[in-house]
Amino acid sequence: MGQPNYSNGFKVAVHEHVLPLPLQWRKPQTVFVNSMSDLLHEHVPKEFILKIFNVMNQAAWHTFQVLTKRSERLLDLDITLPWRKNIWMGVTVEDKDNLYRIAHLRKTGASTKFLSFEPLLGPLGEFDLRDIDWVIVGGESGYGARPMDPSWVVNIHEQCVKSNVPFFFKQWGGVRKKEAGRELEGRTWDEMPRVLSDTIASSATARETSPSSFHHLPSGKKSEPCRT
């Protein structure tokens, strides 16, 4: 990839030198933790996870978004994690077989909980949105991307409306995702939890940093203190 942090490809690696970066940003940012990895991967040491949480606690003027597929480990570690209101926790749910992750997330101490149905690979049917603060939906993209049926997305959106949960539609995906766009039923959906909307309204435009360390989100920045 041409970046020092990827000298060993995509093997699990931790980058402690990246951890202090958010403390250097004085203006509030939205930081997506681990853009190319999963913080709760079984090979990421618990001690390193706690170091990341400590930095997030220290940098209380930022909003940190953590996303994982390892909801079992999240639940196991939950009691040891120093949750703070600026730390959001989410789980990825690709299909009906992984809906159990929502129940795991619900049991955590995170004050803001979100779901990422991306890539959405099948219909979900009915599911429980109690205590969920935000839902993101997107299709798979890139070579060999599996198609996403519009009815799957509409079903999720209708349940969000019924439960009064903010809904963000990211993309249809596919091999040519830009051409596919991100409109659902004739419009875009960019709803955010109120707490983030307030933060964005009061923040200056996010500044660029080295792509080997932090990367932009639609709402801010991404962090990569480890990768899996």
Predicted confidence (pLDDT) per residue in 154-174, tens digit: 999 999 999 999 999 999 998
Amino acid at 95: D
Q: What is the pLDDT of residue 5?
A: 60
Cα–Cα distance for residue pair 83/51, rounded to 1 Å: 13
Closest CA to 24 of 227, 226, 221, 228: 221
Predicted confidence (pLDDT) per residue in 86-121, tens digit: 999 999 999 999 999 999 999 999 999 999 999 999
- Residues of the chain with pLDDT below 50 are 197, 200-228
> 10 Å Cβ neighbour count for 81?
21
State the number of CA atoms in the 13 A half-sphere of 228 facing the CB: 15
Q: Are 161 and 191 in contact (CB under 8 A)?
A: no
Cα–Cα distance for residue pair 220/228, rounded to 1 Å: 22
Q: What is the pLDDT of residue 223?
A: 40
Place of tokens 């932090």: 214
Q: Are 115 and 93 in contact (CB under 8 A)?
A: yes
Amino acid at 124: L
Cα–Cα distance for residue pair 197/143, rounded to 1 Å: 34
Cα–Cα distance for residue pair 205/27, rounded to 1 Å: 9
Cα–Cα distance for residue pair 109/99, rounded to 1 Å: 19
Q: What is the pLDDT of residue 15?
A: 80
- pTM, entire model: 0.84
Residue 16, classed as helix, strand or coil, is: helix
